[in-house]
Amino acid sequence: MKLTHIRLLVDNYEECFFFYRDTLGFEVTWGNEQSNYADFKGIGDATLGLFERKQMAAAVGEAYDRDAKNHDIATLVFNVDDVEEAYHNWKGKVSFITTPVEQQDWGIKVAHFRDPAGNLIELYEPIPGSMEKGG
C-alpha cells in the first residue's frame, strides 16, 4: 500500500483552486477551476488533491457521514494492487463504509473506510484500460 494523495474536501472549490495554484504556486497536473477535482504537484511523492465535498459525498453515497462529528476536511488516499483483495483481507479489521466499486469517471476502483478517529480513507486501483484522473 502506498500513500499517493492527500485530498482536501472543500465547499469553495474554485476559490481553493486559485489559492493553491496562484497564491501558493502549486503546479496543476490535472483539472482546472471548473472541474471540481484537481491534482497539484509538489508534496514530496504524494499529490495534493482538491475535491468538492459534495462530489465526495455523492461518490461514497449514503454511507457518507455528514454530521458535525465527521465533517470531513481531508481524505487519505492509498494505491493498492487489488481493491477487492484488500477489502476482503481487511473486512474483519476495519468497518468499510463502501464496498469496492468502479468510479468510471475517475478511472479507478475504490473502497472507503474510516480510521478510529473518523478520518476518511480511500483505497484505489486504476481500472485497466482507462485513463486515471487522480486518486
Q: Name the residue ranges covered by the structural domains of the chain.
A: 2-126
pLDDT tens-digit profile of 92-114? 888 899 999 999 888 999 999 88
Question: Mean of the pLDDT values across residues 116-134?
Answer: 78
Question: What's residue 60's pLDDT?
Answer: 75
This prediction has a pTM of 0.70
Beta-ladder partners of 19? none
Question: What's residue 53's pLDDT?
Answer: 80
C-alpha cell at 52: 468538492
Can you say how many angstroms the Cα of residue 63 is from the centroid of all Cα atoms in its chain? 15
Question: What's residue 128's pLDDT?
Answer: 85
- CA dist., res. 67 & res. 128, Å (int): 36
* Amino acid occupying residue 43: I
Question: Mean of the pLDDT values across residues 18-37?
Answer: 91
pLDDT tens-digit profile of 58-80? 777 766 555 434 567 888 889 99
Question: Number of helices (H) and strands (E), helices first, in the chain?
Answer: 3, 8
Question: What's residue 100's pLDDT?
Answer: 96
Question: What's residue 74's pLDDT?
Answer: 83
On the question of pLDDT at 40 being above 90, the answer is yes
The percent of residues in the chain predicted with pLDDT above 70, rounded, is 86
C-beta separation of 125 from 83 below 8 A: yes
Domain 2-126 homologous superfamily, CATH:
2,3-Dihydroxybiphenyl 1,2-Dioxygenase, domain 1 (3.10.180.10)
Question: What's residue 4's pLDDT?
Answer: 87
